[in-house]
C-alpha cells in the first residue's frame, strides 16, 4: 500500500480535467485493505474508489480521499470440455483481459474490446458495447466490505445486473478486488450489432477478426482519451415503452431505436443529441465530438464543470424537443 498527499488526478481519469486528491492511496494486494480499514474507520463514507477513471467526471478542484486499485493479474481458475473460468485483479486493464481471452481462443468478451476500463469497474457499471454486456459472462465478484470488515463474494444473481447498472452501485462499502468470468471454448459469435452483422454476413468470423473489427469501429468513432479527453458514451440510451415510441415516431419517423424487451426499447441517445444540433458543438475546450454525438470531449483545458455545463445544456435541449430525459452514464463528482 502506498499513501501520498496532494496528488494530481489529471492523468488518472480519461477526461483529464485538473483535480487533486488530498490523500491518494494505492492498494497493491487484498491484505492492504485490512490495514487500511484499521487506520481509517468508515473509510468508504469519505473515499472515492478509482479504477481507470473512464466512468468519472471530476467537477471539484479537490477530493479528500481517493483509493486506487492496483491489483493486477490474469489467471485461469477452472476449465472443462466446454467452458473456462478466468480470474483477473480489479486493477487489471479491461482490454488486457479481453486481449488475453482472444489470444487463448476463449469466447465471450470480444465485443467488449477497447473499453478503457478496469476490471473492478466492469461489474459496477455492467459495461457494455456492440451488443454485449459484462453481465453475460459474470461468474463471481470478489470484494472487501468496509462495513463488515470481511471479504465477500457475489454471484451474478446477487448483483441484479441491468442496463449500465448493478446492485454494487448501492453498496459503497464494497471495494472490488477481483472478478471471475465464465467463457466458452467453442465459437459463439455475437453479431447482433449492425456493423458486425453486415461485415460478417457471408462468413463465420474468428475471435481476432471480431476484436479487430470492434477496435476499428471504436477508433473511427471514439477519440483516443490520451489525445482528446473523454469518457466514451456520456449518456445512457433512454428506455421507453413501445407505446411511447409509436407516439414519437409520428413526429420523428426516422427516430433510431433498439429492441430492449418485449414491451420496451432503447432510443439512441446519439440520434437525439445529433438531431438536436449538438454534434461537433464546442464551447471553449468543452465540446461534443464531431465523430460521435454521444461523446463529450475535453480539447485540453476544459474543467469538469465546463463539461457538466455543456451536458446540462444538452439534457435541457433534448427534453425540450423530444420530452425525453437523458441520464449521464458517467459518475459526476
Helix (H, G, I), strand (E, B) or coil at 177: strand
Is the domain of 204 the same as that of 91? yes
- What is the CATH number for 237? 3.90.78.10
DSSP lists the bridge partners of residue 165 as 162
Q: Which residue has the higher pLDDT, 259 or 183?
A: 183
- Mean pLDDT to the nearest integer, 194-204: 84
Instruction: Using pLDDT thresholds of 50, 70 and 90, give the confidence band for residue 181.
Output: very high
The answer to whether residues 296 and 283 touch, using CB atoms and an 8 Å cutoff, is no
Q: Which of 24-33, 124-133, 196-205, 275-284 has the lowest mean pLDDT?
A: 196-205
Is the domain of 173 the same as that of 37? no
| Last residue within a domain, chosen from 221, 247, 267 | 221
Q: Which residue has the higher pLDDT, 116 or 97?
A: 97
Q: What is the pLDDT of residue 263?
A: 86
Average model confidence (pLDDT) for the chain?
Answer: 92
Whether 211 is catalytic is no
Q: Which of 110, 164, 166, 180 is catalytic?
A: 164
Whether 329 is catalytic is yes
Q: What is the pLDDT of residue 165?
A: 86
Q: For the chain, percent helix, then strand, then coil, each to nearest 5?
A: 30, 30, 40
Q: What is the pLDDT of residue 51?
A: 81
Is the domain of 183 the same as that of 156? yes
Q: How many percent of the chain have pLDDT more than 70?
A: 100
Is the domain of 95 the same as that of 51? no
Other CB atoms closer than 10 Å to residue 222's CB: what's the count? Answer: 22
Q: What is the pLDDT of residue 70?
A: 92
pLDDT at 198 over 90: no
Instruction: Using pLDDT thresholds of 50, 70 and 90, give the confidence band for residue 208.
Output: very high
Q: What is the pLDDT of residue 302?
A: 94
Q: What is the pLDDT of residue 42?
A: 84
- Domain hosting 31: range is 2-69
Instruction: Using pLDDT thresholds of 50, 70 and 90, give the confidence band for residue 332.
Output: very high
| Last residue within a domain, chosen from 46, 69, 92 | 69
Is the domain of 84 the same as that of 65? no
Is the domain of 174 the same as that of 233? no
Q: What is the pLDDT of residue 240?
A: 87
How many domains, the chain? 3
The DSSP code for 186 is S
Q: What is the pLDDT of residues 210-232, one digit of tens each?
A: 999 999 988 888 888 888 999 88
Is the domain of 213 the same as that of 98? yes
pLDDT at 309 over 90: yes
Is the domain of 215 the same as that of 123? yes
Q: What is the pLDDT of residue 326?
A: 95
CA–CA separation, 333 and 127 (whole Å): 20
C-alpha cell at 276: 438536436
**CA angle at 331 for the pair 326 and 333, rounded to the nearest 5°:** 120
Is the domain of 290 the same as that of 276? yes
Q: Which of 113, 117, 233, 293 is catalytic?
A: 233
pLDDT at 99 over 90: yes
Is the domain of 51 the same as that of 101? no
Q: What is the pLDDT of residues 146-165, one digit of tens each?
A: 999 999 999 999 999 988 88
| Last residue within a domain, chosen from 168, 191, 221 | 221
CA–CA separation, 84 and 141 (whole Å): 16
Q: What is the pLDDT of residue 44?
A: 83
Is the domain of 253 the same as that of 308? yes
- What is the CATH number for 25? 3.30.43.10
Q: What is the pLDDT of residues 1-22, one digit of tens each?
A: 899 999 999 988 899 999 999 9
Whether 54 is catalytic is no
- What is the CATH number for 197? 3.30.465.10
Is the domain of 27 the same as that of 84? no
Amino acid at each position: 500500500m502506498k499513501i501520498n498527499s496532494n496528488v494530481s488526478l489529471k492523468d488518472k481519469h480519461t477526461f483529464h480535467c485538473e483535480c487533486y486528491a488530498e490523500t491518494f492511496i494505492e492498494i497493491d494486494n487484498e491484505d492492504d485493505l485490512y490495514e487500511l480499514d484499521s487506520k481509517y474507520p468508515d473509510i468508504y463514507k469519505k473515499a472515492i474508489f478509482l479504477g481507470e477513471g473512464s466512468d468519472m467526471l471530476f467537477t471539484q478542484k479537490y477530493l479528500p480521499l481517493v483509493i486506487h486499485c492496483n491489483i493486477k493479474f490474469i489467471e485461469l481458475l477452472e476449465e472443462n470440455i466446454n467452458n473456462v473460468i478466468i480470474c483477473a485483479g480489479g486493477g487489471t486493464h479491461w482490454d488486457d483481459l479481453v486481449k488475453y481471452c482472444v489470444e487463448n481462443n476463449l469466447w465471450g468478451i470480444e465485443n467488449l474490446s477497447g473499453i478503457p476500463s478496469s476490471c473492478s469497474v466492469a461489474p459496477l457499471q455492467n459495461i457494455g458495447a456492440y451488443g454485449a454486456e459484462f453481465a453475460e459472462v459474470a461468474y463471481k465478484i470478489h470484494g472487501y466490505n468496509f462495513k463488515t470488515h470481511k471479504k465477500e463474494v457475489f454471484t451474478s444473481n446477487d448483483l441484479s445486473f441491468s442496463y449500465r447498472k448493478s446492485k454494487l452501485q448501492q453498496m459503497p462499502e464494497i471495494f472490488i478486488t477481483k472478478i471471475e468470468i465464465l467463457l466458452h471454448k467453442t465459437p459463439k459469435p455475437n453479431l447482433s450489432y449492425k456493423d458486425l452483422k453486415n461485415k460478417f454476413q457471408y462468413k463465420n468470423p474468428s475471435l481476432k477478426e471480431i476484436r479487430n473489427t470492434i477496435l476499428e469501429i471504436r477508433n473511427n468513432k471514439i477519440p483516443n482519451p490520451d489525445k482528446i479527453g473523454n469518457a466514451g458514451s456520456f449518456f445512457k440510451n433512454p428506455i421507453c415503452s413501445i407505446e411511447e415510441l409509436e407516439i414519437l415516431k409520428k413526429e420523428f419517423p426516422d427516430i433510431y431505436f433498439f429492441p430492449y424487451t418485449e414491451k420496451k426499447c432503447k432510443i439512441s441517445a446519439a440520434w437525439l443529441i445529433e438531431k438536436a444540433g449538438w454534434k461537433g458543438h464546442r464551447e471553449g475546450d468543452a465540446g461534443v465530438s464531431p465523430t460521435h454525438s454521444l461523446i463529450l470531449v475535453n480539447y485540453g483545458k476544459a474543467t469538469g464543470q465546463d463539461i457538466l455545463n455543456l451536458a446540462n445544456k444538452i439534457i435541457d435541449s433534448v427534453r425540450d424537443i423530444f420530452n425525453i430525459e437523458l441520464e449521464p452514464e458517467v459518475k459526476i463528482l
